[in-house]
């Protein structure tokens, strides 16, 4: 297990390396609704929050080309 600010399970450590098309691992559940961002004349993007049922780590998945695909919540 990689040392992070919060202790994550091995599946969550691997989650951080996934691409934008890489879905959540099997022990993650959705937190709330998907957020859709759209601007005039441009392609939009989506964000969805997830929580691991094993280690309780929380992630945001973003399809924005300027963001990381998977971000681990700190704090």
Q: What is the pLDDT of residues 34-59, one digit of tens each?
A: 999 987 767 789 999 999 999 999 99
Chain centroid offset of residue 49 CA:
6
For residue 39, what pLDDT is reported?
76
Q: What is the pTM of this model?
A: 0.82
For residue 6, what pLDDT is reported?
58
Task: Give the count of beta carbons closer than 10 Å to the beta carbon of residue 52.
Answer: 19
Position 18 pLDDT exceeds 60? yes
Of 67 and 27, the one with more pLDDT? 27
Mean pLDDT (the chain) is 87
């Amino acid at each position: 297990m990689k040392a992070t600010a919060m202790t994550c399970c091995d599946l969550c450590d691997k989650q951080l390396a996934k691409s934008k098309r890489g879905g959540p691992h099997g022990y993650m559940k959705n937190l709330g609704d998907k957020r859709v961002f759209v601007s005039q004349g441009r392609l939009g993007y989506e964000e969805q929050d997830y929580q691991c049922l094993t280690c309780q780590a929380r992630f945001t998945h973003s399809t924005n080309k300027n963001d990381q695909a998977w971000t681990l919540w700190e704090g």
